[in-house]
Amino acid sequence: MSLLRVLSRNTILQAKNFLPTASCGVRNVSELTNLKDVLADKVPKEQEDIKAFRKNYGTKVIGEIQVDMLYGGMRGMKGLVTETSVLDPDEGIRFRGYSIPECQKVLPHAPGGEEPLPEGLFWLLMTGDVPTENQVKAISKEWADRASIPSHVVHMLNNFPNNLHPMSQFSAAICAMQSDSKFAKAYAEGVHKSTYWEHAYEDSMDLIAKLPTVAAIIYRNLYRGGSNVCPINVDLDWSANFTAMLGYEDNMFTELMRLYLTIHSDHEGGNVSAHTTHLVGSALSDPYLSFAAGMNGLAGPLHGLANQEVLMWVTKLQEQLGGEVSNDQLKEFIWNTLQSGQVVPGYGHAVLRKTDPRYMCQREFALKHLPTDPMFKLVAQLHDVVPDVLLEHGKAKNPWPNVDAHSGVLLQHYGMTEMSYYTVLFGVSRALGVLASLVWDRALGLPLERPKSMSTKGLKKLVGA
C-alpha cells in the first residue's frame, strides 16, 4: 500500500500531526519531506473544518453589495475564498499569516545566501507550515526531476517570430504543455472527484518545475541569438537553475531572483491572475489551461505588465531629461504623463493604501547591494515626488508605489535590460501562489464559479430608480 494511502486512512485514526510509519511506529508530519504526503494528511482535516463551519455559519451575512461595486470592478466585495495569502490595505501581503520580512527570516535560505528560497514559500503556501531545510531540499530536487519539457513545445518556441511578445510565447507554451496533463487524463478516465486535488497537485508540480526552462528558452531565443539553455542541475535550487539557464553567472543575481520569485508569488485571490486561474479551474479545466489563462491576465499593463511599463517610462524620462534631474523636472514629466491621459506605471493599487512591502524589500535589497546605481537613485527620487503629484491630481486612491515600481531597476543592474521580458519572471513566480490555491480549490471541492450578472435596466428596477 502506498504511503499516501496509509496517510489518508490514518489521518482519521491518529492524533494530530503524528502518523504511523512502516519501520518505527509513529512519525511527526514535520519529518515528512514529500509535500503530497503532508497534504494528504491536511486535506481531510480542512474539509471537515470547513464543513462544520458552513453548517454552523453558512447563512451568516458578511457584507452588503452596493450598485457602485457592480460598475467599479467589484472593489471591496467579499466573494472568494483563498487560503494561501491575505492582503491588508495598510500592511500589505501576508503569506499564510507571515509578512515578507518574517518570511525572509523564517524560510530556509540557500547555503551562504540571505534571501528565502521560493521552494520554502511554496511549501508554506501549500501547507500553512514553515518548512524545514530538508523539506525545501526535497522540493528543489523534485522540481529538478520534473523539469524536462515536451519536444513539441521546444519546437514551437523555436519557431515563434521575434515580434511575438514574451508573455504570449509563455502563455502559448503553457497551453501546449497541456498534452502532458495528468488531471485531464485522470478526468477522462473517470476518476472519483475526491481525488481531483491529487491530479491537480501533480500537474502543478510539473508545471512549476518546467516554467523556468520554458522562460529561459524564450529569453535565449529573443535576446541571446537562440543559444541553447544549459541542462538542469539536480543539485541546484529552482532559482539557481533558472538563472543558469538564462545565462547569468553572478550569484547576487541568483539571490535577487530568489527574493523576486518569492515576493511575486501570491497576492490573495481577487487580483486578475489569481482570480482568472481560479475561475477557469472551477470549470475543471486542468492546471495548464487555468494557469495559462491567468498569465494572459498578468500580461495586462494595469497588472503584471506594469513592471515592463515602469522601466520603459523611466528610460523615456532619462532620454528626455538626461542623467541628473531635479524634483521640479520630475514633477513636470509626471504631470505630462497624467495630462496625456496615461497612468504613472508602478504607482497605485486596487487594494493597498500604503507603500507596497514588496517595493520596500526590493528597496532594501538595492540599498544593500547597489546603493550607487543611477537608475536606483532615480527610482528612489521618484518615490519622493510621484505621491504628491498623484495626490494633487486627486484621482488615485493610493498614491504610493507598488511592487512593479522597483523590480525592473534591480534586474537591469545585473544586466537584464530586456524590459519586455520582465513580466515572464513575474509569471514564473505567480505560479507558486495560484497553483497552490488551485490544488486547494480541488481539495475543498469548490464548485463552478458563476456569479449573477445584471443589466442596468434590471438594476434600476431592483433599486427602484
Residues in touch with ligand CMX (CB under 6 A): 271, 302-304, 306, 338, 343-350, 395-398, 402-404
In the complex, what is the shortest distance from the CB of residue 304 to ligand CMX, in angstroms, rounded to a whole number?
5
C-alpha 28/C-alpha 50 separation (Å) is 24
In the complex, what is the shortest distance from the CB of residue 450 to ligand CMX, in angstroms, rounded to a whole number?
24
In the complex, what is the shortest distance from the CB of residue 347 to ligand CMX, in angstroms, rounded to a whole number?
4
In the complex, what is the shortest distance from the CB of residue 303 to ligand CMX, in angstroms, rounded to a whole number?
4
In the complex, what is the shortest distance from the CB of residue 19 to ligand CMX, in angstroms, rounded to a whole number?
40
The nearer residue to ligand CMX, 177 or 306, going by C-beta atoms, is: 306
C-alpha 135/C-alpha 125 separation (Å) is 14
**Catalytic annotation on 303?**
yes
* Cβ(434)–Cβ(274) below 8 Å: yes
The nearer residue to ligand CMX, 199 or 303, going by C-beta atoms, is: 303
DSSP character string of 155-224: HHHHTS-TTS-HHHHHHHHHHHGGGG-HHHHHHHTT--GGGHHHHHHHHHHHHHHHHHHHHHHHHHHHHS
In the complex, what is the shortest distance from the CB of residue 296 to ligand CMX, in angstroms, rounded to a whole number?
14
The nearer residue to ligand CMX, 160 or 313, going by C-beta atoms, is: 313
* Cβ(462)–Cβ(454) below 8 Å: yes
The nearer residue to ligand CMX, 138 or 396, going by C-beta atoms, is: 396
Distance from the Cα of residue 108 to its chain's centroid:
19
41-56: b (≥16 Cβ within 10 Å) or e = bbbbeeeeeeeeeeee
Contacts of 30 (CB under 8 A, 6+ apart): 17, 129, 132
Contacts of 164 (CB under 8 A, 6+ apart): none
In the complex, what is the shortest distance from the CB of residue 276 to ligand CMX, in angstroms, rounded to a whole number?
12
**Catalytic annotation on 404?**
yes
- Cell numbers of 401, please? 508605489
Catalytic residue selected from 264, 349, 406, 413: 349
Find, among 326, 333, 318, 329, the residue nearest to 408 by Cα. Answer: 318
Output the CA torsion sign for 108, 404, 240, 203: positive
In this chain, which residue has its C-beta nearest to ligand CMX? 348
The nearer residue to ligand CMX, 338 or 380, going by C-beta atoms, is: 338
Distance from the Cα of residue 381 to its chain's centroid:
28
Find, among 83, 91, 103, the residue nearest to 264 by Cα. Answer: 103
Find, among 213, 107, 108, the residue nearest to 153 by Cα. Answer: 213
Catalytic residue selected from 404, 406, 413, 441: 404
The nearer residue to ligand CMX, 302 or 391, going by C-beta atoms, is: 302
The nearer residue to ligand CMX, 257 or 403, going by C-beta atoms, is: 403
Catalytic residue selected from 275, 303, 383, 406: 303
Find, among 316, 310, 446, 294, the residue nearest to 386 by Cα. Answer: 310
Active site residues: 303, 349, 404
